[in-house]
């Protein structure tokens, strides 16, 4: 394990031509203090966790003091935002310090988010507020706990510097780790500019770093597009299965590695509603929960267009056509697992659909209902009352139970509950849980709730008796929580 000054930086993105980024230092953050530190993420970059108790730790992860081999830069990209192409975006408030090679040989981007104005800031102030930094910090670790690919979060550093949003808030810097921060929009910017040589340079860079098995293949660009397509299809299925809504699925927020990243107004669905919109700034529901799978494909089509100078049109179509079947297969497998079914059989899609329809009608909590299904007793004389009582339409429930029971007879029943509990989380990051942590942090500089949630959400499938109340459906006051693009 390394001390701060020993971190093993190896900065590959900084070696790309200047067109791809702007070099700059973070803007100093006044009187920074450590809000939370995530030892699990520290392991990813071989950082000795005891370093977090150094008096100057916050100075380092506010960007006020840089590690010796960092080469700070902001990345250039463009993107389709709510359907409209914006030719120039880029890290408007993030700075990549560089990449760290860990003992396992993996290269991790280390990025400060909220570290001040950059050449891509447009009208923005370059800052992130404590509230949204806490949400991203907790959600990325919650997603990791759920087994869903995501960027990670090393720590949050706060400051009393004021930041103006709908109200006055305070600034924070989140240190984010990811195998890559390259987005669909990183390619789109060069397609728009007609700089096709840069598209090839970036594709070659990404392939060499992340898809080395493709390097010598004559069809490497098509195969790269295919990998991104398959990963995105799987990611969308994972989001849908766990009830996660990203909120801002612009192409600049879509990772070429199929990671969940750029957490903003995300939300985990509570009462089941396919049209669930988590983002208050998206009244039309472009990014509603049930739109996500098709938006994934829409975004891939934008990405494919940016790669079109490198791939024959016919091959692009072949790849994009593979998205829907891949998505449906992953989704069906995930839903089958949630019902304790080891494989997908012919009428299973109908079985999921009718359960979801009943859940919608009864406004049942998506997470808790699936979790409680683990206790379903499949013997013919069992009444399953605690479950049955939750549904308004008991006759529909009884009919569904008859099909489910019949279907379970085709399964090896041993350890069904254990299998179901391993895929149906007990704990998710509910908005009200995040809100409680945020309020304690903002009002009293009490960060204990953040740490408690970090620990809990790291093991979302394990029942933790003393934490039972954290699985509760939202209290009445939580209806007032509004999350928007403002962060």
> Interface with Mg ion by CB under 5 A: which residues?
253, 262
264 vs 374, which CB is nearer to Mg ion? Answer: 264
Name the binder of 126 from ligand AMP, Mg ion, none, CB < 5-8 A by kind: ligand AMP
Radius of gyration over every alpha carbon of the chain, rounded to an integer in angstroms: 23
Q: Which is nearer to ligand AMP, 175 or 334 (CB)?
A: 175
How far is Cα of residue 328 from the mean position of the Cα atoms in its chain?
Answer: 20
DSSP code at position 415:
T
Residue from 28, 92, 119, 474 in contact with ligand AMP (CB under 6 A): 92
Could you give the CA distance from residue 177 to residue 155 in angstroms, rounded to a whole number?
A: 10
Residue 252 appears among annotated catalytic residues: yes
30 touches 59 (CB < 8 A): no
Return the range that interacts with ligand AMP (CB under 6 A); candidates 120-128, 279-287, 364-372, 466-474: 120-128
Would the CA dihedral through 144, 150, 156, 160 be positive or negative? negative
Least distance between ligand AMP and beta carbon 180 (Å): 16
Report the distance separating Cα 301 and Cα 35, nearest Å.
Answer: 40
**Is position 119 an interface residue for ligand AMP (rule: CB under 6 A)?**
no
| Residue with the CB atom nearest Mg ion in the bound state | 262
Give the number of C-alpha atoms closer than 13 A to the C-alpha of residue 26, restricted to the C-beta side.
29
By CB under 6 A, is residue 89 in contact with ligand AMP?
yes
Residue 23's nearest CA partner among 31, 32, 33, 13 is: 13
172 binds ligand AMP (CB under 6 A): no
Q: What angle do CA 269, 272, 277 make, to 5 degrees?
A: 50
Q: Which region, judged by CB under 6 A, interacts with ligand AMP, from 122-130, 214-222, 232-240, 273-281?
A: 122-130
Name the residue with the smallest CB distance to ligand AMP: 124
CB of 137 to ligand AMP, least distance (A): 15
Candidates 158, 179, 247, 264: give the one binding ligand AMP (CB under 6 A): 264
- Rule CB under 6 A: is residue 67 a binding residue for ligand AMP? no
Q: In this structure, is the dihedral angle defined by the CA atoms of residues 337, 273, 266 and 253, taken in order, positive or negative? A: positive
Could you say whether residue 113 binds ligand AMP (CB under 6 A)? Answer: no
Please choose which of ligand AMP, Mg ion, none residue 124 contacts, taking the beta carbon within 5 to 8 angstroms, the exact cut-off set by kind: ligand AMP
Cite the beta strand spans of 222-361 per DSSP E: 244-245, 267-268
Question: Whose Cβ is closer to Mg ion: residue 254's or residue 441's?
Answer: 254
Helices then strands, counting H and E runs in the chain, come out as 16, 12
**Per CB under 6 A, 262 contacts ligand AMP:** yes
Taking alpha carbons only, the member of 311, 287, 269 closest to residue 474 is 269
* 69 binding partner (options ligand AMP, Mg ion, none; Cβ < 5 to 8 Å by kind): none
Q: Which run of H or of E encompasses 334? A: helix 323-338
Structure tokens at 270: 């509570």
Site for ligand AMP contains 483 (CB under 6 A): no
Query: Which position has the token pair 């704990």?
Result: 427
Helix, strand, or coil here: 369? helix
83 contributes a contact to ligand AMP by CB under 6 A? no
CA 269 to CA 440: how far, in whole Å? 24
CA gap 307, 301 in Å, rounded: 10
Residue 127 near which of Mg ion, ligand AMP, none (CB within 5-8 Å, type-dependent): ligand AMP
Query: One of 125, 217, 219, 252 is an active-site residue; which one?
Result: 252
* Residue 93 touches which of Mg ion, ligand AMP, none (Cβ within 5-8 Å per kind): ligand AMP
Contact assessment for residue 147 and residue 461, using Cβ atoms and an 8 Å cutoff: no
Q: Return the bridge partners of 29, or none.
A: none
Nearer to Mg ion, 145 or 264 (CB): 264
* Contact of residue 136 among ligand AMP, Mg ion, none (CB under 5-8 Å per partner type): none
Write the DSSP symbol of residue 122: T
Single out the residue of 17, 83, 87, 124 in contact with ligand AMP (rule: CB under 6 A). Answer: 124
Among the candidate windows 5-13, 214-222, 247-255, 338-346, which touches ligand AMP by CB under 6 A?
Answer: 247-255
DSSP letter for 123, please: T
Give 82 or 400: the residue with its C-beta nearer to ligand AMP: 82
How many residues in total does the chain contain?
A: 487
Q: Which of 63, 126, 145, 258 binds ligand AMP (CB under 6 A)?
A: 126
* Site stretch for ligand AMP (CB under 6 A), options 9-17, 123-131, 295-303, 366-374: 123-131
Tokens for 49? Answer: 């966790």
Q: Which of residues 51 and 252 has its CB atom nearest to ligand AMP in the complex? A: 252
Q: Please list the active-site residues.
A: 252
Interface residues with ligand AMP (CB under 6 A) are 89-93, 121, 124-127, 248, 252-253, 262, 264, 485
């Amino acid at each position: 394990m390394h001390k701060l000054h020993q971190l093993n930086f190896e900065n590959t993105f900084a070696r790309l031509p200047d067109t791809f980024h702007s070099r700059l230092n973070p803007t100093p953050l006044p009187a920074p203090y450590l809000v939370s530190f995530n030892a699990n993420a520290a392991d990813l970059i071989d950082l000795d966790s005891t370093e977090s108790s150094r008096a100057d730790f916050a100075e380092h992860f506010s960007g006020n003091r840089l590690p010796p081999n960092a080469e700070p830069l902001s990345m250039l990209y463009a993107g389709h935002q709510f359907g409209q192409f914006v030719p120039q975006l880029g890290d408007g408030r993030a700075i990549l310090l560089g990449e760290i090679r860990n003992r396992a040989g993996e290269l991790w981007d280390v990025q400060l988010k909220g570290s001040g104005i950059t050449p891509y800031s447009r009208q923005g102030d370059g800052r992130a507020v404590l509230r949204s930094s806490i949400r991203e910090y907790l959600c990325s670790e919650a997603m990791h706990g759920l087994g869903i690919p995501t960027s990670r979060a090393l720590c949050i550093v706060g400051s009393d510097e004021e930041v103006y949003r709908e109200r006055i808030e305070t600034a924070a810097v989140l240190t984010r780790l990811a195998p890559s921060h390259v987005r669909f929009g990183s390619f789109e910017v060069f397609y728009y500019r007609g700089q096709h040589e840069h598209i090839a340079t970036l594709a070659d860079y990404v392939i060499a770093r992340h898809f080395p098995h493709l390097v010598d293949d004559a069809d490497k660009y098509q195969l790269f597009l295919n990998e991104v397509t398959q990963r995105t299809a799987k990611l969308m299925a994972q989001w849908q299965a766990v009830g996660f809504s990203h909120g801002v699925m612009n192409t600049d927020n879509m990772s070429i590695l199929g990671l969940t990243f750029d957490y903003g107004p995300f939300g985990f669905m509570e009462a089941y509603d396919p049209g669930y919109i988590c983002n208050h700034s998206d009244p039309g529901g472009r990014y509603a929960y049930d739109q996500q799978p098709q938006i994934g494909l829409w975004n891939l089509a934008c990405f494919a267009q940016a790669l079109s100078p490198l791939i024959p049109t016919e091959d692009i179509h072949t790849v994009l056509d593979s998205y829907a079947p891949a998505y449906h297969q992953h989704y069906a497998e995930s839903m089958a697992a949630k019902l304790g079914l080891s494989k997908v059989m012919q009428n299973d899609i109908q079985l999921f659909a009718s359960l979801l329809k009943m859940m919608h009608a009864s406004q049942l909590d998506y997470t808790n209902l699936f979790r409680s299904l683990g206790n379903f007793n499949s013997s013919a004389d069992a009444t399953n009352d605690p479950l049955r009582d939750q549904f308004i339409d008991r006759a529909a429930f009884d009919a569904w139970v008859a099909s489910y029971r019949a279907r379970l007879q085709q399964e090896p029943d041993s350890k069904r509950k254990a299998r179901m509990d391993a895929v149906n989380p007990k704990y998710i990051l509910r908005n009200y849980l995040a809100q409680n942590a945020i309020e304690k942090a903002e009002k009293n500089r009490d960060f204990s709730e953040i740490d408690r949630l970090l620990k809990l959400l790291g093991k979302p499938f394990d029942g933790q008796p003393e934490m039972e109340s954290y699985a509760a459906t939202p209290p009445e006051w939580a209806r007032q929580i509004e999350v928007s693009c403002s962060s």
